[in-house]
Structure 1
Amino acid sequence: MTRITADELARAKSILETITESYEHTVVGQAGLRQSLMIALMTGGHILLESVPGLAKTTAAKALADSVSASFKRIQCTPDLLPSDIIGSQVFDYATSSFSTQLGPVHANFVLLDEINRSSAKTQSAMLEAMQERQTTIGGEVFALPHPFLVLATQNPIEQEGTYHLPEAQLDRFLLKEVLDYPAFAEEIEILGRLESGVYDLPDDRDPSQPVDVAPSVTIDDVLFLQAITKRVFLDDSITNYIVSAVYVTRHAGQYIGEELAGCIEYGASPRASIAFSRAARARALLSGRDHVLPEDVKALRHVVLRHRIILNFEAIADNIVPETVIDAVFDAVQAP
């Protein structure tokens, strides 16, 4: 693998700064969400977002798509949503007495699946093919999804009635899981200030006759360049051992973090967690302007990579023990290089 040159690093920095500027033109705060979205964009991974309503999940996804001149689709998941509503279907044309294929909304660069846990298992499995195989099958014909392709799925932790539990096999395919919190006091003041000053409008208040103020954007080719250069960020063998050691401890926790916390773990993380750490840490290093990964990159990503991969048992959930507590104990038990 060839090392990243100074010119390539400078170009990557310029592209990332342009995307960030465009994103922050629309979204106030949510620094963790911005980092996760950028990492997903740079690695081609998918994100699971969990938060109460009204915390700008849709706005953030749309802002990122606009910043890179990409197509964006939003799908509201409901119990009666069918796989064909997402991937598309064949439609009979009476004029020609033949079938034509109508592609569904999943055929976009950025797809927001709102409240994914409200869709049925059959619909979730259709999305699983799209996320993992980067393709859909309609009437026996395979249709490749556009590149880049990024799924942002949301779930509401408050309303659980009428929802379908996401199986662990599908959770594991999300590169990161970000949990959003309410904005800080000053950030909420800034949100209202932007609305009052007309920096941006709510959709219901926007005058369709007026041009939309679009911040500087980059091209899809720039995104593909970022994805290619992210794979070339240097990952030392000592960092690889650090990653694998942490993931290994989640599967043999009793030997490292004490019986009480170890007893909370039903299942540890799979090798996909190690792969996710490797990919995400490279992206975070590049976001920081570096061509090499540091142990701090891995540790900073521990919650977003592992919180949906470590499965706690019923007793831990009943005692209000959260995955982050176990994850912190795991990393405290592993010696950083």
Structure 2
Amino acid sequence: MLPDPSTSGLVQPRAQAYPEPGKDALGELVEITARVRTAIESVVTGRPGLAELTVAILLAEGHLLIEDVPGVGKTTLAKALAKSIDCQVGRIQFTPDLLPSDLTGVNIFRTGTHEFEFRAGPVFSNIVIGDEINRASPKTQSALLECMEEGQTTVDGTTHTLPHPFLVVATQNPVEMEGTYPLPEAQRDRFMARITVGYPDLDAELLMLERQEAVSPLAHLTPVTNGATILRLAGLVRSLYASPSVKRYVLLLVAATREHQGLRLGASPRASLQLLRAAKAMAAMSGRDHVLPDDVQRLARPVLAHRLILTTESRLGAVTAEAIVDEIVERTPVPPLDPADRRR
């Protein structure tokens, strides 16, 4: 049987009409997200902007893919986000022998009652940490597709609804590393953003040595908010105003990826929607009740680059998807703001 929502700490989805956010609501959002960012930055040091982008994806109700070489803090970042929010957390260590049922759950036959009982897997959590997702087989990776897109999973013909909020934070090593499988294009498209952690500078790494010489800072990290609050703030983000000119700018950027000569496959319509949602979250975290083109430009690289497939010529020429996104942003003109935007 599934865990009782009243005792498991899961926040169940509910239909609710969210009003347009007022100044007080935005002020609360800015304050709470600042606390979450501070909690993350107390653990992951020397990477400015990383915590802000991570929290923006959380508020936009997207999923986050963290890609980098081993040992730079990918899993630590995912754990820091999970520990800063008081909600149920599931962790999956992906390995080549992991089965889809190890993620979603399995029906167990009880001889005493002569009935099948569903034993929920780790995806039945508010935040799911998938460590080294590209070390599992494509079949197991694909088990997350329905979960990430529809917030549900189907086991033996029965559909089970996942809790809300629901966020997958997956880490992966570069595909050139030994024992990795490239993620299918369909699964990469379901991650709202991909970020890289990178190496810290010398001062930040020295601070890390001093802080973690005796004990991990994760051990002292306490929640600064809860899942119900995050769900409410995500509703406020959805109601932020985006003018027709900003929406057109999003579409122009995405359309340019489909026509670029260096790309074999551009961004999907899902990318347009997720870029706008992420821009709304970034605007709300800045205390604004409307989206600006600056928000879209800031998020274009992490939201679009991992969805693009380069041509053979681009790969041989050492051209990256990130460089192409930067080029598109630079040469795509920003539409003039609507009068309503100027009054805000």
Give the TM-score of the pair, scaled to structure 1.
0.88
Alignment of 1:93-242 (within 5 A): 93-157=110-174, 159-196=176-213, 200-201=215-216, 213-215=220-222, 217-242=224-249
Aligned-residue RMSD, C-alpha: 1.9
Alignment of 1:249-288 (within 5 A): 249-253=256-260, 262=261, 264-288=262-286
Q: Quick one: distance in 2 between partners of 1:202 and 1:243? A: 39
* Number of corresponding residues: 318
Aligned to 2:107: 90
Aligned to 2:37: 20
Q: Quick one: distance in 2 between partners of 1:164 and 1:216? A: 34
What amino acid is aligned across from residue 112 of structure 1 in structure 2?
I
Gaps of 5+ in 1: 204-211, 254-261
Aligned to 2:58: 41
* Contact in 2 for aligned 1:18/1:216 (Cα 8 Å): no
What amino acid is aligned across from residue 335 of structure 1 in structure 2?
P
Q: Quick one: distance in 1 between partners of 2:80 and 2:159? A: 30
Alpha-carbon shift at residue 85 of structure 1 (Å): 0.7
Q: Quick one: distance in 1 between partners of 2:289 and 2:57? A: 18
Q: Tell me, what secondary structure is at the counterpart of 2:33?
A: helix
Q: Quick one: distance in 2 between partners of 1:22 and 1:202? A: 10
Alpha-carbon shift at residue 214 of structure 1 (Å): 3.6
Q: Quick one: distance in 2 between partners of 1:131 and 1:171? A: 11
Alpha-carbon shift at residue 186 of structure 1 (Å): 1.2
Q: Quick one: distance in 2 between partners of 1:157 and 1:278? A: 28
Change (3 A) 1:202 1:238: closer
Q: Quick one: distance in 1 between partners of 2:175 and 2:158? A: 39
Change (3 A) 1:222 1:272: same
* Contact in 1 for aligned 2:59/2:237 (Cα 8 Å): yes
Once the two structures are superposed, residues 68-99 of structure 1 have per-residue CA deviations (whole angstroms, 9 ceiling, x without a partner) of 10222221112221100111111233344432
Aligned to 2:318: 320
Identical-pair percentage = 43
Q: Quick one: distance in 1 between partners of 2:309 and 2:221? A: 42
Gaps of 5+ in 2: 1-17, 336-344
What amino acid is aligned across from residue 63 of structure 1 in structure 2?
A
Alpha-carbon shift at residue 158 of structure 1 (Å): 5.7
Q: 1:333 aligns with which of 328, 331, 334?
A: 331
Aligned to 1:209: none
Aligned to 1:9: 26
Q: Tell me, what secondary structure is at the counterpart of 1:163?
A: coil
Q: Quick one: distance in 1 between partners of 2:106 and 2:317? A: 46
Q: Tell me, what secondary structure is at the counterpart of 1:308?
A: helix
Give the TM-score of the pair, scaled to structure 2.
0.87
Q: Tell me, what secondary structure is at the counterpart of 1:177?
A: strand
Alpha-carbon shift at residue 176 of structure 1 (Å): 0.5
Q: Quick one: distance in 1 between partners of 2:311 and 2:39? A: 42
* Contact in 1 for aligned 2:175/2:181 (Cα 8 Å): no
Q: Quick one: distance in 2 between partners of 1:121 and 1:284? A: 33
* Contact in 2 for aligned 1:273/1:305 (Cα 8 Å): yes
Q: Quick one: distance in 2 between partners of 1:329 and 1:69? A: 40
* Contact in 2 for aligned 1:25/1:215 (Cα 8 Å): no
